[in-house]
Amino acid sequence: MTSLLLNILLLASYAEAFWRMNCNIIQIGRVDPIVNPGAIAQHAHTISGGSNIGVNATYQSLVNSACNSCEIFPDKSAYWTPNLYYARPNGSFEEVYHTGSVIYYLGRGYLPDGSQKFTPFPKGFMMVSGNKSNRRYNATGNTWGNSTHPGRPLQDAISYACLSEVIGPETPNLVDVPSCINGLRAQIHFQSCWNGRDLYKSDNSHVAYLSDIDNGVCPPGYPVLLPHLFMETNYAVRLTKNTDDGGRFVFSMGDPTGYGFHGDFQNGWDVGIQKRAVAECIYGSGFGTIEECPVLQANRNTQFGINCPEMPPQIGEPVRGMLDKLPGCIRITEGPGSATAADMECPANSPHPSITRTVDSTPIPTANPSIGSTFGNQFNKYVGCGNDSTGSPLRTLNALSTKMANMTVEMCQTFCSSKGYRYSGVEYQNECHCDIAINPTAQFYAGVNMSTGCSMTCPGARNQLCGGPSYMNVYNNTDPDFVSTDDITNSVYQLTVPVAPYGSNYLGCYSEGRSSRVLAGISKGDDAMSVGSCAAYCQDYKYYGTEFGSQCFCSNILGTGTGVKRLDTLQDPRYSSCNYRCNGNFSQVCGGSGTINVFENKNYTPVVVQASSGNYKSKACYTDAANGRALDGAATASADMTVDKCGSFCKEKGLRYFGVEYGTECYCGNNPMKSTGAAAVTCPIEKLMPCGGNKYTYCGGPSLMNIYFATNL
């Protein structure tokens, strides 16, 4: 018991809270405002974060970025790592597709006195982790350590995870990269200990690693504990084809080993948001989801990749696709010696690519209209953010839709009004939907912000929101002189009609089986379907049911196959799994997608297998032969077929067997054709059909025959 308690306490002592966010690319090129401010960097980087990143980026310019390619909007910081290329044997270099980065803010580490107090990154703070010149595992440089917390090689700040079918141990360098069929993940830990004075020093001595790099204690002289920054950069190496040609993967600083991988961080956080996030979300324990941190969840941009697309390159040289050489004047250096400045710098007289000086943007506040307020065109009032995916076959607005490349709220409102539709809604950035009513099954958010489903900015007005995937910003034209169309085709108006009572014969809403139906008898489809028309169609069956708004099924038994079950008996489609209105009567419900409203026919008279006809006695049911009928003698058919009529016909032919099939067909013979595949089976009631001339007796079914036999004619 004591040992178990100690283990629990030890686990608790290593637990930490954290948050992680996904990032897309904001720019690629030889941009590095930390190491090469105002100038072209030596090698190319893939950068995520604030859209104002450039060679002259500062804290203030990043904070003023119009958008951010990471998931948390108030973090306009810039994060970058070197590009990865594949060096072909012919001397060309192919860019390796970058699938984004994941940034972790971890509550790890302690101050020398054993306390744990995290300080947010200050304005203007910058740091670099890793050494671009390394070409071998450098075990000589260690972190600070003592007898309690021994040091660790600085090289361990970098590692790689090969995401193959069998994920092996992490490695300190690039190993068998082509086998990483699910991607190569480059990982880097940043320094967590700050001297409290310098925002940046070119030798990075203003910061230090924790004793264990990913945890541990800060060294003396570094009294400030920062959030532990950990960055994963993902490369889709499998998309690089023909990697068995003798080439190799190489980073943009000419490193084929991976030991020179490095990462840069330039702070661009909103001061207040970062302060709250560090205070509220980095202590204790958790799973690292943004939802666990209310201040970040409230400022989350779930559509960051769409709302903040990659910016045009600032440096005028090719860095993507197939290249004749690595960007800059980089030479591949094999190691084990470190790469030198001469291996990376261009000669003084070499031509330099152009630099497009960026014009710093300013933040674009996203309009956040309150419910009922006027927004966009005159008289248009905001209804809210509606969710399409609530089980209804119809959208929040369903009558009419269009797409516009430069969509704005006003453009959609104008389009819908011009067609006579009072309600307009923008969805998935460039879609516009119209209707005369709002789907009553739609769920609405009280407001809009980046953390709800309506999170995509309008391409024609980045300060407006144009819905999201299956979410729609809805507006109501309240103009008193507005003339609405009377066309209800495809309109959700049908869902606003009150539902009539189902009746006492309603059995419930059933799910269809995986390979069998609830009602497996006859069926039909009808664009004018109603519960009444289905009941009339199935008048000779014990059960009838409606499905998918336009389908009707009949049977004398309820199916029992795998997956068939009664889901509910609710008569309100807002809560039932059967929620499609009948195409022919909007006040009725006709099942759903894969669900069926089942009713019992109270006037049903049981249909039976007739026991005999003259000297003929009922024998069994037979399936037809593979190459013909179960009986191969005389045959006839008529719409008013009965068992007795078929028996009389075959008796006149002098044949001892007769069989009725498919309700209207009659066959005769002296023996069932067993030799060709006809087989006796227990009569499956659900497949039998009433006789055309007597609806209370069965006359076989599809490829199924009720057989009768007479010893003496």
State both tokens at 564. Answer: 């068939």
For residue 28, what are the CA distances in angstroms to 46, 98, 239, 310, 436?
5, 10, 19, 8, 47
The amino acid sitting at 508 is G
Instruction: Give the pLDDT confidence score for residue 359 in this predicted structure.
Output: 62
Looking up tokens 């990032």, which residue turns up?
Answer: 23
**523-543 mean pLDDT:** 94
Q: Provide the CA 463 distance to its chain's centre, in angstroms.
A: 25
171 and 184 in contact (C-beta within 8 Å)? no
pLDDT at 50 over 50: yes
Query: What single DSSP character describes residue 355?
Result: B
Q: Provide the CA 153 distance to its chain's centre, in angstroms.
A: 41
3-state secondary structure at position 709: strand
Closest of 187, 186, 204 to residue 195, by C-alpha: 204
520 and 564 in contact (C-beta within 8 Å)? no
**454-471 mean pLDDT:** 88
Looking up tokens 């009707």, which residue turns up?
Answer: 552
Report the C-alpha gap between 507 and 487 in whole angstroms.
35
240 and 183 in contact (C-beta within 8 Å)? no
Report the C-alpha gap between 247 and 123 in whole angstroms.
44
All structural domains of the chain, each given as residue ranges with its CATH number in brackets, are: 18-343 (no CATH), 373-477 (no CATH), 506-600 (no CATH), 612-710 (3.50.4)
Q: Provide the CA 64 distance to its chain's centre, in angstroms.
A: 31
Q: Among residues of the chain, what percentage have pLDDT more than 70?
A: 95
Looking up tokens 């697309």, which residue turns up?
Answer: 309
**670-689 mean pLDDT:** 84
**552-560 mean pLDDT:** 92
Residue 178: count of CB within 10 angstroms of its CB: 18
Instruction: Give the pLDDT confidence score for residue 6 in this predicted structure.
Output: 31
For residue 85, what are the CA distances in angstroms to 245, 323, 418, 532?
15, 9, 53, 68
Beta-bridge partners for 625: 628
Closest of 263, 250, 255, 252 to residue 327, by C-alpha: 252
Residue 85: count of CB within 10 angstroms of its CB: 26
**350-377 mean pLDDT:** 79
Judged by average pLDDT, the poorest of 405-419, 500-514, 520-534, 683-697 is 683-697
3-state secondary structure at position 533: helix
Closest of 471, 482, 480 to residue 439, by C-alpha: 471
Report the C-alpha gap between 474 and 23 in whole angstroms.
29
Residue 323: count of CB within 10 angstroms of its CB: 16
Report the C-alpha gap between 456 and 461 in whole angstroms.
11
513-517 CB contacts, 8 Å cutoff, 24+ apart: 513/559, 513/561, 513/562, 513/563, 513/564, 514/561, 514/562, 514/563, 515/561, 515/562, 516/559, 516/561, 516/562, 516/564, 517/553, 517/555, 517/559, 517/561, 517/564
- Band (496; pLDDT cuts 50, 70, 90): confident
Dihedral (CA of 409, 414, 415, 419) sign:
positive
What is the overall mean pLDDT for the chain? Answer: 90
- Band (476; pLDDT cuts 50, 70, 90): very high
Burial annotation 331-345 (CB, 10 A radius, 16+ → b, else e):
ebbebeebbeeebbe
Instruction: Give the pLDDT confidence score for residue 15 in this predicted structure.
Output: 46
Report the C-alpha gap between 492 and 440 in whole angstroms.
8
Instruction: Give the pLDDT confidence score for residue 561 in this predicted structure.
Output: 84
pLDDT at 130 over 80: yes
